[in-house]
Amino acid sequence: MEVFPCMAVTRYRDSMNKTLDTPARDGFIMPAEWAPHTRTWMCWPCRVEAWGGAEAMLRAKQAFARVVRAISTFEPVTVVARREDAAEAKLATSCKAELLEAPLDDSWARDIGPTFLRGPAGGRGAVQWRFNAWGNKYQPYAHDAVLATRIAEAADVRVYDAPLVCEGGAIHSDGEGTLLTTEQCLLDPNRNPHLTQRQAEERLMLYTGARRVIWLGEGFSDDETDGHVDNIACFVAPGRVLVGVPSSPSLPDTEPVKEAIRRLREARDAAGRAIEVIEIEQPARVRFDWRGRPLQASYVNFYLANGGVVMPSFDDPNDEKARAVLADCFPGRDLLQIDALDIVEGGGGIHCITQQEPAAP
């Protein structure tokens, strides 16, 4: 694994032949998810194709609503919904969320919403990544491609347009300058075919304020997002990374996960710390989605709210073991476990449908 130094930021600015107005230059950084939030943003499901039919999407809406109600016990929630869906969203969530009416193509707030930033003197910002529907897997996506800017404007924060095709689920931050991502996603020709790994890393650093990027390789079986890191690994504290480990060595992600763990153990974060790897066993039951593909159920795909952890359950023997692992990772937080199978049927999990807006210091 090669980790490129901070000098890359300067080279990138020089290659563009101008001084870029970027978050890193302006002192912004992507905070950790465990930092205090002002609110959580979500989007109401609207693309029937993602779930394979109206009945499955109805079940997904019910599951989304359960997540809204769970998070609302910890912090405010705002749900973005199309005008024609606003009344349904309000009723389903029992008025536990504010609504923002806006055009939508899909419902994965982590990926189509902004990556929020914190800056000097309490300032906040947001990144509008280039969005192409996970490598042009769905059409249309024009509304989702500008949703991050709509949300940032509603939150009254400055928006930075990043020259990189990226989704929020593709990156994870420790809040202290270290970023996790995968080669499989950001280096896929369907995202950034014109960029080398070094160039992609330079852009990540410029627009998240990261000083170190740890790449976790490829070969993961997730065809929907091409290996989003939020289904594989996440920081649970600076210097500590939780990794989802297949429950059987015969499962397809076994070797890619072993390689990810090897890279993490050899890496150092932006502060020079070695990475402690915490393993969490993934669901024991192998299920398939409506397309016949392996269901990407992951205990890593949880959400941190103010004072709480909203995590998935999958009607699986490993649900309780996963709960115990997360309880150890986040002592003092309340854990709420939500049946997430109907969400995962659409291609994502609880983390994928949420996006935190950090509080000002």
In a domain, 2, yes or no: no
Residue among 259, 235, 228 nearest 245 (CA): 259
Is the separation of the CB atoms in 214 and 178 below 8 Å? yes
pLDDT tens-digit profile of 13-51? 434 434 578 999 999 999 999 999 999 999 999 999 999
Q: How confident is the model at residue 11 (pLDDT cuts 50, 70, 90)?
A: very low
Q: Active site residue: 43, 46, 234, 352, which one?
A: 352
Q: How far is CA 181 from the centre of its chain?
A: 10
Q: Is 329 a catalytic residue?
A: no
DSSP state of 95: T
If you average pLDDT over residues 175-184, what whole number do you get? 98
Distances (CA, A) of 55 to 49, 59, 60, 226, 255: 11, 7, 9, 26, 36
Predicted structure pTM score: 0.94
Token pair, residue 112, equals: 């189509």
Distances (CA, A) of 351 to 170, 172, 233, 283, 340: 11, 11, 12, 17, 11
In a domain, 119, yes or no: yes
pLDDT tens-digit profile of 191-236? 999 999 999 999 999 999 999 999 999 999 999 999 999 999 999 9
In a domain, 305, yes or no: yes
Q: Which pLDDT does position 19 carry in this prediction? A: 55
Share of the chain above pLDDT 90, in %: 91
In a domain, 75, yes or no: yes
In a domain, 361, yes or no: no
Task: Give me the number of domains the chain comprises.
Answer: 1
CATH of the domain at 57: 3.75.10.10
Q: Which pLDDT does position 8 carry in this prediction? A: 34
Residue among 310, 319, 343, 313 nearest 33 (CA): 310
pLDDT tens-digit profile of 252-300? 999 999 999 999 999 999 999 999 999 999 999 999 999 998 999 999 9
Residue whose token pair is 């150890």: 328
User: Which domain covers residue 106, as residue numbers?
Assistant: 7-353
Distances (CA, A) of 37 to 107, 158, 356: 21, 17, 6
In a domain, 358, yes or no: no
Q: What is the mean pLDDT of the chain?
A: 94
Q: Report the alpha-carbon distance of residue 180 to residue 38 in Å, rounded.
A: 24
In a domain, 120, yes or no: yes
In a domain, 135, yes or no: yes
